[in-house]
Amino acid sequence: MAALAPQTVLDVRHWTDRLFSFKTTRDASFRFENGQFVMIGLAVNGKPLLRAYSMASANHEESLEFFSIKVPNGPLTSQLSKISKGDEILVGAKPTGTLVQASLLPGKRLYLVATGTGVAPFTSVIKDPEIYERFDVVVLIHGCRFIEELSFGREVVESLKDDEYLSEIIGDRLIYYPTVTREDYLHRGRVTELLDTGIVARDTGLPALDAAEDRVMICGGPAVLADMCGLLDARGFEEGALSKPGTYVIEKAFVER
Ligand code: A2P
């Protein structure tokens, strides 16, 4: 397979002024693990302009889906945000990434902690039937500045209830915990504070974070990753990788600079 394959845009949705998602065709030969990312982009002046994007769709789905921020004057996203149905985008052939089950030791509960577009790998992971075989409970914690920025993730979570196959597997074992920092909402505060102070445990009725039983995947900006790592390290969690599975794994949310 060539290093980059053109795929056709099937659908584009704009969620806020800053956020959009799009679906594309997928080659049958394009295989990935839920939670991984790949290079995607556009041909600009005859040259591929690429950035890393997590697959927001699951590997059992026919099409690919991506969730993106629009960076003002960002070389790629300022172009990508203008795509429409029928356009072509380039998709790399080599998905990779650490937010995969094999990087984590077995555990009871899986916490997926995301801020902003960092929710993308987790909308893939929560559709993975295997994750519910490995864990009793999956908790998706998504922090954004404003309520409307939660919409993409919330819609994916809600769509699972209409999925006959997955809804049966999941039952009530997926806990969705959305929180915002800059307006009033059901849950308010940074994901780190809510976990650190035990507010998530109080609200969900789950035990306090425990390295013996809990596993954590984190995707967010550099400051979120640093703070989450500090919080988990202090509780005896150890970062894992494919070569040495651990009790948590991190990936930077890919924001165009
Ligand atoms: P805040 O509003 O307090 O900055 P962004 O849109 O900048 O990527 O932020 C997404 C969310 O991540 C916001 O709710 C933001 O909160 C939060 N955030 C920013 N820095 C941190 C951090 N170090 N730890 C946890 N959450 C953070």
d(CA 123, CA 253): 14
143 lines ligand 1 (CB under 6 A): yes
Q: Which pLDDT value is given to residue 254?
A: 77
Domain spans in the chain, listed from the N-terminal domain onward: 4-92, 101-250
Q: Top-level CATH class of 4-92?
A: mainly beta
In angstroms, the CA 244 to CA 103 distance is 7
Alpha helices in the chain (DSSP H): 77-80, 120-125, 129-134, 151-161, 164-170, 191-196, 199-204, 222-234
> What confidence tens digit (pLDDT) does each residue in 183-240 have?
999 999 999 999 999 999 999 999 999 999 999 999 999 999 999 999 999 999 999 9
Angle at 51 between CA 242 and CA 80, to 5 degrees: 140
Contacts of 49 (CB under 8 A, 6+ apart): 41, 42, 43, 75, 76, 79
Q: Which residues of the chain have pLDDT under 70?
A: 1-2, 255-257
Any atom of ligand 1 within 6 Å of the Cβ of 253: no
CB of residue 48 inside a 6 A radius of ligand 1:
no
Res 255: pLDDT: 66
Position in ligand 1 atom list of the atom nearest CA 226: 23
Angle at CA 236, nearest 5°, toward 231 and 242? 95
Rounded to an integer, what distance in angstroms lies between the CA atom of residue 248 and that of residue 240?
A: 6
The domain 101-250 having CATH identifier 3.40.50.80: the answer here is: yes
CA 121 / ligand 1 centre spacing (Å)? 18
The token pair at 213 is 């039983």
Domains 4-92 and 101-250 share a fold: no
In this prediction, residue 123 carries a pLDDT of 98
Q: Which of 83, 25, 12 shows the shortest CA–CA distance to 49?
A: 83
Distance CA 95, CA 124 (A): 13
Order of strands, sheet of 37-44, starting from the edge strand that comes earlier in the sequence: 47-54, 37-44, 88-92, 4-14, 19-24, 64-69
